[in-house]
Amino acid sequence: MAYIKVMLFYLIGLICGIFTLAMVVDPSKGWMAATASGIVTFFFFYVAGPALSSSVECVKDDEKEAPIIQEQPKNSALSTNASGRLIYQIPPVKKTAKGYILNPGTTFELTLLTDSETEAQTVRDLIDHYEHGTWLEKAPLAPILARCQLRCLEVDAYIKVHKKQFQDKVNELVNNSQEWSHASKSDQAYLMEKIIEKAISVLSVRLSTELAPLLEDLPNTAGLDAKIVDSYGQEAHTLYMLYAHEIGKTQKIHAVDQVVYQNFKKLVTAKLCLNGVNIPQAILLEQLSMTDLTEMITDCNLHEKAKNKADAISILGSGKNVMERLMSMLPVNELYYLIPPKGMEKKIADLQKSWCYYDALAKLMKTTYSIARTNTFKLITAPNALSGEKIRWEVKSCDDCSDCESLHILYEHTPPEPPLHVGCQCLIYWHHTAA
C-alpha cells in the first residue's frame, strides 16, 4: 500500500509538470496558472514523494524482526580466572534502608539486618570463599551470627508466615495424643520429635535445613556469647558452639579422629570441658550398666540394695577405691564432658536453644546464597538469540518443598529464577533445541 501511494504522488507531479510545460509554450494561458502548476509539480516531485519514500524505508526496517536480547541480572560480573575459566563474581555488599544485601544482583538476594558494613562483609566472606575456580566453605558462620545476634530479613519473613501454623499444629498433635499425658520425660522428648516432623510436613514451603529451631520461640541470650568470647576467647566460643548439643553429656573421643580430638583438647585447655579423672565420679558411674553397678557395690562391701541406677550411684558415693575400679572398667582417658561456662549454668539451656537457631540460620543462608549464585551464573552465560541458538530451560525442583514440585517442567522461553524462597534448592538448566 505504501508503494502505491508513492507512485500516485509521482504521477500527479508528472501531470502537473506537463501542464506547466504546455502553458510555457502557449503564453496566452497566463503566467499565474503556470506558476501554480510549477509549485504543485515541485511539491509532489521533490517534497512529498521523497518523504513518503523515506517512510516506506522506515516501515521496511521496522518490519524486520528485532533481536531478542536476554536481560542480565543487574550488577552481574563475569570474568575469567587464571586458567581461562569463566566465573561469576558477586558484586560487593550493598547498603539498604534495612541492612546490607550480601549478594546483590543474584536471583535471590539475602539482606543481613545490621548497620555495620564490617559485620556484613565478615558474614559475606564466611559464605563466599572462592579459590581457583571453585566455591568453598571457608569457616563456620553460626558463631558470628550468634555473637552479634544477627538476623536475615528474608528468613524472618519466612518465619513470620509459617511459625504460627507450625506451633498451632504442634499443640494440636500434643492435645490429641493419647500417650503424651502418661509418658515420661524421655518418652515425651521422643514423641515431640515425631510431632515436630508431622507439623513440618503440613507446611507448603519446607526448607532444606533443620526447620524446627527456626520456628520455635528464641530465648533472649543477648550479650552471653560476647561474654563467653571475653572470658574464653573467640576460638573456644566457636568450638563450643559446634558441640553445644553435647553439653552435659559424656563423649568418648578417639585420638584417631584428629579434628574432633584436637577440638576437645582445646576446650579442655579453655576450661569448658573435663577429661578423664577430672570428670566427676557420679558422671562416670552413669556409663556403667545396672549389673556393673550392683557388682561394684558388692565389691566395695557396701551392704545396701539399690532400687535403680540413680540409687546405685548414690550408694557408691561412700565407697572406697571407686575411681580406681572405674579406671579398670572404662576408657576414662578417652572420655570428655562439656560443662557450662562459669556463671551461666542457669542460662546454658537457653544458649543451646539459641545456638541451634543460629546453626540452622547459617546453613539456610549458605544454601540459599549458593543456589542463587549458581542459577545467576547459568542465566547470564546461557546462549541467547543473538548467537542464533535456540534453547529450552528445565527446572529440577528441590525434593523438600511441595510448593516447588510444580516447577519441574520444560520452559520454551523465560524460566523461573530460583531460589523462589529461602532454602529452595531448585536448579535451572538449559538445553539446545531445534531452531
Phi, psi of 78 (to 5 degrees): -100, 140
At 268 the pLDDT is 96
At 84 the pLDDT is 72
Confidence check: pLDDT of 3 > 50: no
Q: 327 and 392 share a domain?
A: no
Percent of the chain with pLDDT over 70: 75
* Confidence class for position 365, pLDDT limits 50, 70, 90: very high
Confidence check: pLDDT of 13 > 80: no
Structural domain containing residue 320:
242-349
Q: 88 and 182 share a domain?
A: yes
- What distance in Å separates the CA atoms of residue 57 and residue 104, rounded to the nearest whole number? 44
* Confidence class for position 424, pLDDT limits 50, 70, 90: confident
In a domain, 235, yes or no: no
In a domain, 223, yes or no: no
Q: 28 and 59 share a domain?
A: yes
pLDDT tens track for 133-156: 555 556 689 999 999 999 999 999
At 185 the pLDDT is 85
Q: 207 and 252 share a domain?
A: no
In a domain, 133, yes or no: yes
How is residue 193 written as a grid cell?
Answer: 520429635
Q: Is the bond leading into 419 cis (omega within 30 degrees of zero)?
A: yes
Q: Which of 318, 335, 368 is the last residue of a domain?
A: 368
At 402 the pLDDT is 67
Of these ranges, 228-242, 314-328, 406-420, the one predicted with the greatest mean pLDDT is 228-242
Domain count, the chain: 4
Q: 428 and 325 share a domain?
A: no
- What distance in Å separates the CA atoms of residue 273 and residue 251, rounded to the nearest whole number? 10
Q: 338 and 276 share a domain?
A: yes
At 300 the pLDDT is 87
Q: 362 and 319 share a domain?
A: no
In a domain, 117, yes or no: yes
Confidence check: pLDDT of 1 > 60: no
Phi, psi of 112 (to 5 degrees): -85, 125
At 30 the pLDDT is 53
pLDDT tens track for 192-242: 989 998 888 888 776 655 788 999 899 999 999 999 999 999 999 999 998
At 58 the pLDDT is 35
Q: 49 and 128 share a domain?
A: no
Q: 320 and 265 share a domain?
A: yes
**Between these two residues, 259 and 78, which has the higher pLDDT value?**
259
Q: 313 and 411 share a domain?
A: no
At 113 the pLDDT is 97
Confidence check: pLDDT of 35 > 60: no
- What distance in Å separates the CA atoms of residue 126 and residue 148, rounded to the nearest whole number? 14
Confidence check: pLDDT of 49 > 70: no
At 202 the pLDDT is 83
Number of Cβ within 10 Å of residue 128's Cβ equals: 21
Q: Are 5 and 52 in contact (CB under 8 A)?
A: yes
Closest residue by Cα to residue 243 from 128, 372, 334, 143 = 143
In a domain, 224, yes or no: no
Amino acid at 367: T
In a domain, 375, yes or no: no
Range with lowest mean pLDDT among 98-102, 158-162, 422-426: 422-426
In a domain, 411, yes or no: yes
Closest residue by Cα to residue 392 from 416, 412, 417 = 412
Q: 175 and 96 share a domain?
A: yes
In a domain, 189, yes or no: yes
Q: 213 and 249 share a domain?
A: no
Confidence check: pLDDT of 10 > 80: no
- What distance in Å separates the CA atoms of residue 216 and residue 134, rounded to the nearest whole number? 36
